[in-house]
Amino acid sequence: RRREMAKSTQLIDNEVFRAYATYTAIVLIKMMLMSLVTAYFRITRKAFVNPEDTASFGKGESAKKYLRTDPDVERARRGHLNDLENIVPFVGIGLLYALSGPELSTALLHFRIFTGARILHTFAYLIPLPQPGRGLSWAVGYSVTFSMAYKVLKTAWLL
Amino acid sequence: RRREMAKSTQLIDNEVFRAYATYTAIVLIKMMLMSLVTAYFRITRKAFVNPEDTASFGKGESAKKYLRTDPDVERARRGHLNDLENIVPFVGIGLLYALSGPELSTALLHFRIFTGARILHTFAYLIPLPQPGRGLSWAVGYSVTFSMAYKVLKTAWLL
Amino acid sequence: RRREMAKSTQLIDNEVFRAYATYTAIVLIKMMLMSLVTAYFRITRKAFVNPEDTASFGKGESAKKYLRTDPDVERARRGHLNDLENIVPFVGIGLLYALSGPELSTALLHFRIFTGARILHTFAYLIPLPQPGRGLSWAVGYSVTFSMAYKVLKTAWLL
């Protein structure tokens, strides 16, 4: 038992893996916060999608009018979905990349640029900033993930 | 080779990792079942989105009328998307948490509460239960993931 | 430090894990390409959702008419979401499966069939092929993931 416990903690003692764990936790928390942003806009804009969510506003027509879409709610939801589409590949490919033995400085560069780009992307989406602000921040994160995928395939390739 | 094979199986011999593997498999299977729920409602409610999916109902207008949205289908789809938004962070942060050396009892508590909360959330969404049933089950799973993220960042922090 | 580095690279030296890394990188890259497909259709069909994305087409009504949905854009987006719903469980369950000590040939069979099925699914969705082409390719990938989940639960079961 003791030897197993010791072994399982060694991965987290590896510096590249610790860096991966830190930035993955940060971007996943950032993604989770999108749920709160959506909830905030749903409540302040009174725009819901489930009838049971409007029951506290009364019954019948008085509640039904809050079953509607709102531009701010939809914008937050699109930002959340874009996070899923981009952060899921980062988490999966990033794990394999961290285990493929990169230099710590190179790994940190990848993780930091991706995390910064996704935080910028969120602000660009929610404010919103004029294009190409959002597009560029998306493209930077996307490119970082591709760069890590290249390293993974070069190291692990076994088809 | 033999030593490597032995090494790779040791992670799954670690009890915390085995608990993580068990609950992650369960919640991911639960999420996958949402596809079947959506398919069930699409077929029984005859509500499809792709023209090629209604070809068996005949051609032209007779098939076109089944290209429509249905409240039950949309509800199942929202439940599925909510699973993606919440189970993805659990799987990613949970892996790092399992590798950060927590007590088995503490880890089991996290995994069990999260899994129970997400199963409750699915029933609350599909039945549907009156609020705050769905909201509370969502908040419990959300808080468990944050608690694991806190442990990960405390253990691994390398910015 | 040196011993830790060596340890962390050993996982990627394990053949089953290398196969997992290869196919996971491929399916995640495939999923990421759906963003480019969607972007291609948005630009060629001039169908956008964010007002700031149409600013280059001029101001007022001349730009507003491009804020619309397009069948090809929506089709690409559905394919992308279907990837998320199916590739996320593969990546999560596949990692646990790769660590559960399967035979290399059995593991390769799972990874290859899943990857092939998801590539077929994308073509079936985008062309589109008549049903049951898309349905079958979806079902094959779905079944492979269940088969891996069964192995994970049989090996790791600790509730």
Is residue A54 assigned to a domain?
no
Structure tokens at A26: 């940060």
Residue written as tokens 């996943």? Answer: A28
CB atoms under 10 Å from CB of C100, counted, come to 22
- ipTM rounded to 2 decimals: 0.92
CATH of the domain at C150: 1.20.120.550
C4, C17, C29: residue with CB nearest A149: C29
Contact A93, C1 (CB under 8 A): no
Cα of A58 to nearest chain C Cα, Å: 33
Cα of B96 to nearest chain A Cα, Å: 6
Confidence label for B70 from pLDDT (cuts 50, 70 and 90): very high
Is residue C19 assigned to a domain?
yes
Helix, strand or coil, per DSSP, at residue A67: strand
Pick B37 or B1 by higher pLDDT: B37
Produce one character per residue of B128-153: b if its CB has 16 or more CB atoms within 10 Å, e if not: bbeeebbeebbebbbebbebbbebbb
Which among C31, C131, C143 has a CA at the least distance from the CA of C76? C31
Structure tokens at B68: 């429509």
**pLDDT score for B6:** 44
For residue C112, give every residue at least 6 positions away whose Cβ sits within 8 Å of its Cβ, in sequence order, or none: C23
| Least confident interval from B8-12, B40-44, C67-71 | B8-12
Contact B83, B31 (CB under 8 A): yes
The DSSP code sequence of B65-133 is: TTBS--HHHHHHHHHHHHHHHHHHHHHHHHHHHHTT---HHHHHHHHHHHHHHHHHHHHHHHTTPPTTH
Nearest-by-CA chain C residue for A135: C53
Cα of C140 to nearest chain B Cα, Å: 13
AA letter at C38: T
**Is the bond into C128 cis (omega within 30 degrees of 0)?**
yes
Contact B102, B52 (CB under 8 A): no
Pick B119 or C64 by higher pLDDT: B119
Q: For CA atoms C56, C62, C64, C68, give the dihedral sign.
A: negative
Which among B121, B113, B70 has a CA at the least distance from the CA of B94? B113
Mean of pLDDT values over C116-129: 98
Is the model's pLDDT at C1 over the cut of 70?
no
Which among C47, C38, C131 has a CA at the least distance from the CA of C79? C38
Is residue C95 assigned to a domain?
yes
Is residue C115 assigned to a domain?
yes
**pLDDT score for C60:** 76
Q: What angle do CA B154, B158, C2 make, to 5 degrees?
A: 115
Which among B60, B30, B34, B63 has a CA at the least distance from the CA of B48? B63
Residue written as tokens 């808080």? Answer: B143
Give the pLDDT confidence of C80-107 residue by residue, as tens digits: 999 999 999 999 999 999 999 999 999 9
Give the pLDDT confidence of C37-58 residue by residue, as tens digits: 999 999 999 999 999 999 888 7
**pLDDT score for A12:** 80
**pLDDT score for C42:** 97
Contact C144, B6 (CB under 8 A): no
pTM given for the model = 0.93
C-alpha span between A30 and A24 (Å, rounded) = 10
**pLDDT score for C63:** 82
C-alpha span between B108 and A108 (Å, rounded) = 32
Helix, strand or coil, per DSSP, at residue B13: helix
Which among A29, C104, A147, A76 has a CA at the least distance from the CA of B8? C104
Is residue A52 assigned to a domain?
no
Is residue B123 assigned to a domain?
yes
A119 is in which domain, residue-wise?
1-44+70-158
Residues from chain A contacting residue C7 (CB–CB below 8 Å): 10-11, 14
Q: How many domains does chain C have?
A: 1
Which among A113, A89, A95 has a CA at the least distance from the CA of A20? A95
**Tens of each residue's pLDDT in chain A, 159 residues:** 444 444 444 788 899 999 999 999 999 999 999 999 999 999 999 999 999 999 888 777 778 899 999 999 999 999 999 999 999 999 999 999 999 999 999 999 999 999 999 999 999 999 999 999 999 999 999 999 999 999 999 999 998
* Cβ–Cβ pairs < 8 A, chains A and B: 103
Cα of A132 to nearest chain B Cα, Å: 27
Interchain pair A25, B145: CB under 8 A: no
C-alpha span between A78 and A72 (Å, rounded) = 10
Interface of B with A (CB under 8 A): 10-11, 13-17, 75, 78, 81, 84-86, 88-89, 92-93, 95-96, 98-101, 128-131, 134, 142, 145-146, 149, 152-153, 155-159
Which among C90, C102, C89 has a CA at the least distance from the CA of C17? C102
**pLDDT score for A3:** 47
Is residue A9 assigned to a domain?
yes
Residue written as tokens 């860096």? Answer: A19
- Chain mean position to CA B26: 9
Q: What mean pLDDT value characterizes chain B?
A: 92
Give the pLDDT confidence of B18-46 residue by residue, as tens digits: 999 999 999 999 999 999 999 999 999 99
Q: What mean pLDDT value characterizes chain C?
A: 92
Residue B23 — φ and ψ, nearest 5°? -70, -35
AA letter at B42: R
Is residue B125 assigned to a domain?
yes
